[in-house]
Homo-oligomer: A and B are copies of this chain.
Amino acid sequence: MIIKKKENWFKMLFEWKGSVLPQLLPRLFLLFLFSLLIVYYKSFLLEYNLHINPAIFTLFGIALAIFLGFRNNVSYDRFWEGRKLWGALLNDTRSLARQSITLLNTENDKAESQKFIQLLIAFVYALKHQLRHTNPDKDFDRLISSDLKEQLQNIHFKPIAILKELGLWVKKAKAEGRIDGFAQLAFEENLNKLSDIVGGCERIASTPIPYTYSVLLHRTVYIYCFILPFGFVETLGWITPFVIVFIAYTFVALEAIADELEEPFGLQPNDLALDTMSLMIENTLLELNGEKIEIKKSDNEYYLT
């Protein structure tokens, strides 16, 4: 996610980097050429009555508004739900880390808490890698024992397997008398939440907006844009291509943004900053365990405090 200080209102008009404009340029240029052609053959079109009454476009407008508005809202909701799930991940791992320190019957047993907190951090990275289909080995190397790493090698649902390890830690703690039944109940509640978070992320990642919607919207938007010149060439004349391309830009850009946000766990510029967020969770958990952390002032440092 590219975050910048907000420019003043004037400079923002010419923003380039954070925009989806670059990827749309070829299509818009094609539309520009097409409009030019229509301006050129204007008299021919009018003669053969190939001109379209502009009132037609307000009828289209209804379907277009419903489609674009719907697609936009659904995509943003998916993005924001993904963000909320990772926010809940932060909250619950913090709560669990705190509990691993304060719910022990014994004096603070830093070694045991640390084991638990390392597992929590591994859990976060395992989820990140599962969602992005990337290899977690490098992160596992520094976070978990080689025994556990090997054990996870052939596991498909790695975050769930680590969640079981967290549950076994609790079981052992209770068996050895370090925590009582009340504490176990408190842990269980938060472990269940972690299970909900994993499943929630998997749900978003695996269930796109029904494909028919995308096809129908896509078709409506582009056909609409390409018949626009037939409707306005008579009144707009030689400025037709400029006006048409600007109108088309707003529509296709909206579709393009919605398309990016639909899958919030990807690697496109507007997707969620899972890397930064994982690092941030790691930092806050380590700090809870009494370690001194350092937060680098990197480019997207703005993202999470």
Which B residues are CB-close (under 8 A) to A73? 70
Q: Is the CB of B56 within 8 A of A243?
A: yes
Q: How far is the CA of A101 from the CA of B169 in the complex (A)?
A: 12
Q: Is the CB of B186 within 8 A of A186?
A: no
Judged by a CB distance under 8 angstroms, whether A25 is at the interface is no
Q: Is the CB of B84 within 8 A of A203?
A: yes
- How many copies altogether? 5
Q: Is the CB of B164 within 8 A of A13?
A: no
Which B residues are CB-close (under 8 A) to A59? 57-58, 61, 228, 247
The answer, among B203, B223, B270, for a CB contact under 8 Å with A212, is: B270
Which B residues are CB-close (under 8 A) to A43? none
- Contacts A59-B247, A181-B182 hold; do A222 and B13 have CB atoms under 8 A apart? yes
A204–chain B nearest beta-carbon distance, Å: 9
* CB closest chain-B residue, reference A49: B237
Q: Is the CB of A215 within 8 A of B185?
A: no
Q: Is the CB of B180 within 8 A of A254?
A: no
- Contacts A53-B235, A239-B52 hold; do A257 and B202 have CB atoms under 8 A apart? no
* CB closest chain-B residue, reference A53: B235
- Contacts A13-B223, A223-B13, A304-B206 hold; do A54 and B57 have CB atoms under 8 A apart? no
A74–chain B nearest beta-carbon distance, Å: 7
- Contacts A63-B251, A239-B50 hold; do A102 and B170 have CB atoms under 8 A apart? yes
- Total interface residues in chain A, CB < 8 Å: 135
Q: Is the CB of B70 within 8 A of A212?
A: no
User: Could you give, for residues 267-293 of chain A, a 1 whenever the CB lies within 8 Å of some chain B CB and a 0 otherwise?
Assistant: 001100000000000011001100011
Determine chain A's interface SS by DSSP, over half rule: helix
Judged by a CB distance under 8 angstroms, whether A3 is at the interface is yes
The answer, among B64, B72, B236, for a CB contact under 8 Å with A56, is: B236
Residue with the highest number of chain B CB atoms closer than 10 Å, among A90, A189, A222 = A90
The answer, among B58, B183, B188, for a CB contact under 8 Å with A58, is: B58
A28–chain B nearest beta-carbon distance, Å: 11
Residue with the highest number of chain B CB atoms closer than 10 Å, among A3, A192, A220 = A192
Judged by a CB distance under 8 angstroms, whether A76 is at the interface is yes
User: Could you give, for residues 127-157 of chain A, a 1 whenever the CB lies within 8 Å of some chain B CB and a 0 otherwise?
Assistant: 0001000000000000000000000001111
**20 extra A-B contacts, CB within 8 A, seeds A102-B171, A186-B188:** A6-B259, A13-B218, A20-B212, A20-B216, A53-B54, A58-B58, A63-B251, A66-B69, A70-B72, A70-B73, A91-B200, A95-B191, A102-B164, A104-B171, A156-B284, A157-B284, A186-B189, A205-B305, A212-B257, A212-B260
Across the A-B interface, the 4 shortest Cβ-Cβ residue pairs: A102-B167, A181-B182, A91-B199, A63-B250
